[in-house]
Amino acid sequence: MKILFLTHSFNSLTQRLFIELQNLGHEISIEFDINDKVSLEAVKLFQPNLIIAPFLKRKIQKEVWQNYLTWIIHPGILGDRGPSALDWAILNDEKIWGVSVIEAVEELDAGPVWGYEYFAMPSSRSKSSIYRNEITEATMQAIKKSLKRLENNQKPVAVSEIRENIKGNLHQKISQNNRKIDWQNDNSQTIIRKINSADSSPGILTNFFDNEYFLYDAHIEKKLKGKPKEILAKHENAVCIATTDGAIWIGHLKKRRDNEKKYFKLPATTILKDFLKNIPEKSTSFLKDKNTYQEIFYEIKGKIAFLHFPFYNGAMSSEQCSRLKNAFQKVCETDAKIIVLMGGNDFFSNGIHLNTIENAEDSPQESMQNILAMNTLVKKIIQTTNKITVAAMRGNIGAGGVFFALACDFVWAKNSVVLNPHYKNMGNLYGSEFWTYLLPKRVGKNLAEIKKLRLPIGVEKAKSLKLIDDHFGNSRTEFEEILQNNLVKTLTQENEIISNKINTRKSDEFKKPLAEYEQEELAKMKQNFFGFDPSYHVARYNFVNKVKHSRTPLFLAKHRNKNNSN
Ligand code: COA
Ligand code: THG
């Protein structure tokens, strides 16, 4: 079928759907929902058999849904209607939630239902994390069921006619007042739930030092205590704030827009820097400690070390890269024979940290610093020849994050992972992270095809291109079980793998030293950062400041692209 995605943006859910529906043989084109006129034009140009709205905030005009079958993906259970669906579900502490595929009609989300799915709500996870995992998985199931229904010429069913014990209802757009933190009365769990319900957007507004900030990225602290709202400690990106029954860590803040300026999200310690001079720095080791928040931590099981780095949004600043390198070094000093890079649950890595770069006094210089810090980390992994290294991708991965993962001996991904192995969306950066060494070595003759990619790919395609070695596991637990089995198997071949690795590294270095690859890459990156073409700086500014799309890029809007090429 010809399927048009009408969507607010090409977010993670839309990307996954794009990959899965293409895999089922459908032809997909995408239009950003900019205004009614442009959306109608897209529909007329493409003449789709079906329109899907994976992530839409505006009402679809009658002329579209009356003439073309249109499905809304709603992040709520059967019968649930209205905006802020997932926000309300988290705030109300729902135990079961879900996704429904609703046919668009005049009244918002009130149309008949083509498919729906339920899942158990995880506790203590942010809205965006649930969206990127449970909502995305449930959507794939619900959409596949809906497509079966359509193929079988079955009709959608009105909510009132479906017999289910759990049904939702209409709700209003959520406001700051609905989830305002009451520091004198709310306990840690309540505060974290409120912040989770608004993370990644819009955040929970609160006041510190006479300024208003949106809070994001909240975690429990089990040891420190103080007067409610007192700042107790700082550590790396995060600040620790006392609550009525303990304390929480806040990793990210955004200053509220004022008359002069609109601000963007940054590490909490960056934003509050001037107020934190007398606040003690909490020291923790990288070894996993359940009592506090650690941005980077490792655990050792037998001869296998698991290094976790669930960086917010998968972004890695110069400082984060350097801390991760130190943590990797610490793990190297243990008896572990295999080091597994686990990334985070939502993202493995999205490369350099565009927000901290945008915030730097000298952004071109900070871009270079960030790339150098990434390279130091990647080089350390490549040069670790006495251990086996594995990248275990559990979450999505993009740009430099992909090449960082390829530094490992084995690259395995969870079935749901979406990869963006290119820098094309960021002003067409040349890229570094030793990709000119790592990529040809791994993918051989597929190099040219990979270099042409500018769209996200799924794990099947990534494996066929040899970007990854394997993929498995539909759920988090399934992935981790198979991962463990594979690691145990790998361990039995330890000596052979290590001796091959030492020899290959030696001969590769002899043919062309790593330093030479790096110099060549950096020469190109210098052009991107300091040269005449401002594309990267413009793209970064727009990305960080969330400048609204004014048009859909032609590589997505195939209906507008005469050549129809990728
Ligand atoms: N450096 C810095 N930041 C980076 C980065 C990098 N290298 N790479 C990615 N990011 C950030 C992005 O800026 C974005 O940040 P933010 O969302 O914290 O501001 C984030 O990583 C990824 O965003 P996106 O591509 O939108 O990913 P997503 O699809 O995983 O996130 C939600 C989606 C949850 C934020 C959003 O889609 C949402 O609100 N969904 C709810 C839908 C809903 O309720 N709809 C109701 C209508 S019925
Ligand atoms: N039918 C039609 N168009 C649609 C839907 C539909 N467009 C997308 C929509 N479903 C997705 N769901 C909603 C449901 C309610 C609201 C927005 C998206 C909503 N919005 C308020 C408004 O527009 O005034 C407030 C939101 C805001 O202020 O951002 O109520 O089923 N044809």
292 part of a folded domain: no
Residues 158, 207, single domain; the answer is no
Long-range contacts of 516-520 (CB under 8 A, 24+ apart): 517/434, 517/436, 517/437, 518/375, 518/379, 518/432, 518/434, 520/436
Q: Are 373 and 322 in contact (CB under 8 A)?
A: yes
Q: Which residues of the chain have pLDDT under 50?
A: 565-566
Domain that holds residue 403: 297-478+486-542
CA of 108 to the centre of ligand 2 (A): 5
- Nearest residue by C-alpha to atom 20 in ligand 2: 83
Residues 328, 390, single domain; the answer is yes
268 part of a folded domain: yes
Minimum-distance ligand 1 atom for the alpha carbon of 264: 19
Minimum-distance ligand 2 atom for the alpha carbon of 81: 14
Q: Is 545 in the pocket of ligand 1 (CB under 6 A)?
A: no
173 part of a folded domain: no
- Nearest residue by C-alpha to atom 9 in ligand 1: 313
CA distance readout (Å), 80 to 190, 266, 426, 544, 566: 24, 34, 37, 32, 38
C-alpha span between 345 and 524 (Å, rounded): 33
550 part of a folded domain: no
pLDDT value at position 564? 56
Residue bearing tokens 């024979």: 337
What does the angle CA 452 – CA 455 – CA 457 come to, to the nearest 5 degrees?
100
Q: Is 82 in the pocket of ligand 2 (CB under 6 A)?
A: yes
Q: Are 241 and 251 in contact (CB under 8 A)?
A: no
Q: Is 55 in the pocket of ligand 2 (CB under 6 A)?
A: no
Q: Is 111 in the pocket of ligand 1 (CB under 6 A)?
A: no
Residues 68, 192, single domain; the answer is no
Please name the helix (run of DSSP H) or strand (run of DSSP E) that holds residue 541, with its range, or none. helix 535-544
The CATH number assigned to the domain holding 403 equals: 3.90.226.10
Q: Are 197 and 124 in contact (CB under 8 A)?
A: no
Residues 48, 16, single domain; the answer is yes
Please name the helix (run of DSSP H) or strand (run of DSSP E) that holds residue 487, with its range, or none. helix 476-492
555 part of a folded domain: no
Residues 141, 238, single domain; the answer is no
Residues 240, 351, single domain; the answer is no
C-alpha span between 282 and 409 (Å, rounded): 35
- How much is the pTM? 0.96
Residues 261, 410, single domain; the answer is no
Residues 346, 269, single domain; the answer is no
Distance of CA 357 to the CA centre of its chain: 18
C-alpha span between 349 and 332 (Å, rounded): 21
433 part of a folded domain: yes
- Nearest residue by C-alpha to atom 24 in ligand 1: 11
Residues 25, 130, single domain; the answer is yes
pLDDT value at position 565? 47
417 part of a folded domain: yes
Q: Is 452 in the pocket of ligand 2 (CB under 6 A)?
A: no
Q: Is 3 in the pocket of ligand 1 (CB under 6 A)?
A: no
The tokens describing 291, both together, are 């009592």
CA of 224 to the centre of ligand 1 (A): 31
Q: Is 562 left (phi over 0), alpha (psi -120 to 50) or beta?
A: alpha
Q: Is 75 in the pocket of ligand 1 (CB under 6 A)?
A: yes
- Nearest residue by C-alpha to atom 42 in ligand 1: 55
- φ/ψ (deg, to 5) at 340: -105, 120
Identify residue 430 by its one-letter amino acid code.
Answer: Y
Q: Is 355 in the pocket of ligand 1 (CB under 6 A)?
A: yes
Best mutation site among 7, 33, 57, 58 for ligand 2, i.e. most ligand atoms within 8 A of its Cβ? 57
167 part of a folded domain: no
The CATH number assigned to the domain holding 146 equals: 3.40.50.170
Minimum-distance ligand 1 atom for the alpha carbon of 13: 29
Residues 152, 207, single domain; the answer is no
Best mutation site among 33, 109, 139 for ligand 2, i.e. most ligand atoms within 8 A of its Cβ? 109
- Nearest residue by C-alpha to atom 16 in ligand 1: 200
Residues 497, 385, single domain; the answer is yes
Residues 369, 456, single domain; the answer is yes
Cβ neighbors of 246 (< 8 A, separation 6 or more) are 187, 188, 220, 221, 222, 224, 225
Closest ligand to C-alpha of residue 68 is 2
Q: Is 344 in the pocket of ligand 1 (CB under 6 A)?
A: no
Domain count, the chain: 3
The CATH number assigned to the domain holding 229 equals: 3.10.25.10
